[in-house]
Structure 1
């Protein structure tokens, strides 16, 4: 536990050195509302300074002109050093966003560093130059498509997986030779500030990775609109994504947006119910439901509805809510009081609409819950898909159970959403499940599983769940520009089609 005598202060990181500001922010631990650390808060002027440094660094070629193999070697060195400091990164994540020690060790930090290593490897295997077959139209020639770095990348990261979702952007950006300015969420900047320091201590040139914590309406807005930023990569709410699109439009930036979700989990009538119950609960309640691709709508056949709800309630009551630092804890707090109150308001609204809270639905109380932001795992039955609870992203531990009649009805309900990030299907019949998967309007479908995000495969959404894809080779496409270079091999002037424009008749 951090105390006043050992409270750590985190400056910004610009140009390879810590930079402080007059304005600071207390980082509040969601589990007990203690001050975990203080952090310097940047503004638009600090973003300008960071972008200038990143632009100058990019133009110098100190990173951009390294070979992919050289960049990969440095990135691997950084990943190894970060793994040596993994306990500090885990503590930074837990103290800022309330992740349990199991989740922080696995998803939040372990997975993040694994993905960074993947992008280091990809730098060496990605096809940076793509020759085409020799062409004879309109003249004989050879063409090569070059994938080149964009320049300065602006990365705006959320609070739920600060390090992981930042490295989804920083990893491919660095592998491609770009320079980066990161604007972390003001609630959770600690782990990425730690990572930036580790990176430059282990070979990343100063100014290639810069981190400016700050408010979205100030620092974030400036980064999104800055004329010297060539691309914005953002993870967060759909509403803020719309604002970023508008800000980026002034300079026609490339953008990647990974936004909200309202994931359908379709349980078919031939599913293994024991497996499906655990999978549905995991799909919704991991990290207290604060995951964009969470399966928050459980679609269950009418014939199985009551039995399945009873099984869900029985298993949900076994979820251990409590101290995130305890390895036996399954679920921790939500991020802050504002989010806790928002979740409760959604639950009360569902009841007013005629749905029934069958377990949870309230703030946790009693020993250990005197302070902090706690919501019990909540299951709501009798939900219709037109209710607000089924259409809007709650971002908390709230599962809505919706009955359906047949497969066609399940597909209709699943696709009746403005979101399209992820879904899952539970069935013993693989062929039937695959047929349903093809009809779901989402970027990822997991069959008899949930939250299986593979660093080698593209991740992103349909509809208002976003634009572009993160992870896999597709990610490097997002962080590079394509340049076509054609070499004429025809030889003589007489073979060229200049007569379409110029007359070469003798005078």
Structure 2
């Protein structure tokens, strides 16, 4: 069987382009597929299809219960195609089969189901009591769909993060244009097929592929797009804001992070050692909410580091399709070089490599983009490895005296505020620390726990707005106030404040 070519999905049909991308497996660099490389004209076609579908009322005109029924069929289709989606995800982004099954793909159907249920619960209209002065009136607040909503995706969790945009947008009655990352479009394109087969009307969901500088920029600035949601780096998020400001559209951004875990002196060290590695090494650290700064009291520092180093030695790197593999490759040669450059920066800054620090050797690692799980000690919070997002399996361990206030100050000394954690055997102490950490999500004695029922997003330069949670649809709707005068008589109205009888 030859290499399959994938087209874009626009207006309910598959659309090709004159140019194409190559999708290569990051574990062995073998060619997996080719994908249409779209341009600004394809963006215009997708937005036009979405706008026409919205105005037709084929989706926006349905009740919440009717949208729920279609979305539940889509979620069922995702479950039925789980193996295909896992294979596509592993081949494109290097996730291990366990990670893909548990996170990258395994979360997709439950998250879509959650948004489907929100569609039925969404309060579209409610009356608001007001004072009878200056006139007696009835007032209504309506939440109405925005229209065409755009989602611009990263490469690390392409399917789940697309559903964080698609799900609430559809539930609120909008139509959607998704721009996938050029490295990992396969699972999102497959989702478009699944949604179409489940009965989603043509034009309601459109998926385009292309370069960010061309396709992403056109989508973010397009005058007929009313909302743009972006997940990715803080630098690109700033550019998305600039482009969106040209037409003053709604924007939500989920950006970078440099998650800090404050370990208190009464924490269970065996558990913290496991959690620290899980926090920084899940999907080779290529997660915005990874915990990459471990802030440790002097009194337990040496013992905890020794436990982390010993545990890191048990992590198995290898073929992502092997169920026994713990850690796969990083996504690309570019990312590989970036991470290795930071490992050298850490050494140059005076940090100590406690374990890892390079590329694994031996059979299976001759090709592909591999990085060892790496732990730096002797790190201070002013070092670049402690301040900048590396996006790799790299943990920086920072000492502090043991005073929780000092640990909090170190954790908060960052431009980022996406995630944080506290580890302690005393929940009262842990909650006191958690309340002072500047982050959108703070875990107590846990990491990486993101569920659709709870909002997710960042403080500071980690983003704007929130995804997930019971209010997720608010990001994809406009609030309209309708005022109905009930006075019935001219003399009972407030006109005489401006107009006299004379």
Normalising by structure 1, report the TM-score: 0.98
Secondary structure, counterpart of 2:366 in structure 1: coil
Select which of 446, 450, 455 maps to 1:453: 450
Q: Is 1:271 the counterpart of 2:267 in the alignment?
A: yes
**Alpha-carbon deviation of 1:475?**
1.5
Residues 443-482 of structure 1 mapped to structure 2, 5 A cutoff: 443-482=440-479
Secondary structure, counterpart of 2:187 in structure 1: helix
Q: Give the whole-Å Cα distance in 2 for the aligned partners of 1:137 and 1:441.
A: 43
Unaligned runs of 5+ in 2: none
Select which of 429, 432, 438 maps to 1:435: 432
Q: Give the whole-Å Cα distance in 2 for the aligned partners of 1:145 and 1:486.
A: 9
Contact map agreement 1:126 1:473 (CA 8 A) in 2: no
Select which of 18, 24, 48 maps to 2:20: 24
Counterpart of 2:7? 11
Q: Give the whole-Å Cα distance in 1 for the aligned partners of 2:293 and 2:199.
A: 46
Contact map agreement 2:130 2:137 (CA 8 A) in 1: yes
Counterpart of 1:190? 186
Describe the superposition over 1:242-290 as per-residue Cα deviations: whole angstroms up to 9, x where unpaired. 0000000000010000000000011110111111111111111100000
Q: Give the whole-Å Cα distance in 2 for the aligned partners of 1:28 and 1:72.
A: 37
Select which of 326, 346, 362 maps to 2:342: 346
Q: Give the whole-Å Cα distance in 1 for the aligned partners of 2:120 and 2:53.
A: 22
Residues 273-312 of structure 1 mapped to structure 2, 5 A cutoff: 273-312=269-308
Secondary structure, counterpart of 1:472 in structure 2: coil
Select which of 55, 60, 65 maps to 2:56: 60
Secondary structure, counterpart of 2:435 in structure 1: helix
**Alpha-carbon deviation of 1:134?**
4.4
Contact map agreement 1:13 1:210 (CA 8 A) in 2: yes
Select which of 21, 42, 49 maps to 2:45: 49
Contact map agreement 2:150 2:228 (CA 8 A) in 1: yes
Contact map agreement 2:452 2:469 (CA 8 A) in 1: yes
**Alpha-carbon deviation of 1:82?**
1.5
Residues 244-263 of structure 1 mapped to structure 2, 5 A cutoff: 244-263=240-259
Contact map agreement 2:26 2:369 (CA 8 A) in 1: yes
Describe the superposition over 1:28-68 as per-residue Cα deviations: whole angstroms up to 9, x where unpaired. 11111011111101011110111111111111111111111
Contact map agreement 2:78 2:108 (CA 8 A) in 1: no
Q: Give the whole-Å Cα distance in 1 for the aligned partners of 2:417 and 2:308.
A: 25
Q: Give the whole-Å Cα distance in 2 for the aligned partners of 1:498 and 1:476.
A: 39
Q: Give the whole-Å Cα distance in 1 for the aligned partners of 2:128 and 2:296.
A: 50
Select which of 355, 371, 377 maps to 1:375: 371
Q: Give the whole-Å Cα distance in 1 for the aligned partners of 2:108 and 2:332.
A: 23
Q: Give the whole-Å Cα distance in 1 for the aligned partners of 2:126 and 2:412.
A: 38
Residues 353-432 of structure 1 mapped to structure 2, 5 A cutoff: 353-405=349-401, 406-432=403-429
Describe the superposition over 1:299-355 as per-residue Cα deviations: whole angstroms up to 9, x where unpaired. 000111111110100011111111111111111100011101110110110111110
Tell me which moved more, 373-382 or 485-494.
485-494
Normalising by structure 2, report the TM-score: 0.99
Contact map agreement 2:336 2:370 (CA 8 A) in 1: yes
Q: Give the whole-Å Cα distance in 1 for the aligned partners of 2:28 and 2:210.
A: 23
Q: Give the whole-Å Cα distance in 2 for the aligned partners of 1:469 and 1:385.
A: 28
